[in-house]
Structure 1
């Protein structure tokens, strides 16, 4: 096993874990309960960590994480092509009708 990522919080660690698992890279979160003792131990020891289970997946996992870190955050709104409802630009499905928002040409900045 190798540590591949130190997250700022448990939610971020879970996102990275999910991304790795979607890429068929088995991984595990450590220190998921350590934030409760921050202050009693050095804060860097309380950060959640993501570890890959197979050392040979490390390089591929780093690429997955690099893509995640370099993906711009979508801001603004997009109109649903199915029902016309306005949705935040980072949504993939319309909150009102459940229609897909990833239709080419319908993204607005």
Structure 2
């Protein structure tokens, strides 16, 4: 196994793990519960870590994580309810209307 990276929190670590697993790169999250030890251990040792099952997948896994960082961010107003939608969303969270093209 190979430690790929640390995540800022368990939610992000789980998202990254799921992305890698769906791409056929078996990964796991380690140290997901060490946040409870913050204050007793150095903060850098309490962050969740993403581990790859096969070290030869490291280059592809890092490339996928870089792509995830570069998702397009948008800001638009929903034509259905005038809600302001921000981020990578193409559908209004409020009424379900799709982003206009």
TM-score (structure 2 length as normaliser): 0.80
The question of 1:16 aligning with 2:16 is answered yes
Stretches of 4+ aligned residues off by more than 3 angstroms:
83-87, 96-101
CA contact (8 A) 1:77 1:88 kept: yes
Q: Which residue of 2 aligns with 1:76?
A: 75
TM-score (structure 1 length as normaliser): 0.75
- Structure 1 unaligned blocks of 5 or more: none
Counterpart among 73, 88, 99 of residue 85 in structure 2: 88
The verdict on how the C-alpha distance between 1:46 and 1:73 changes in structure 2, with shifts beyond 3 A counting, is farther
What is the Cα-based RMSD across aligned positions, in Å? 2.2
Q: Which residue of 2 aligns with 1:59?
A: 59
Work out the CA distance in 1 between the residues paired with 2:81 and 2:5: 40
Work out the CA distance in 2 between the residues paired with 1:25 and 1:67: 15
CA contact (8 A) 1:85 1:96 kept: no
The verdict on how the C-alpha distance between 1:52 and 1:78 changes in structure 2, with shifts beyond 3 A counting, is farther
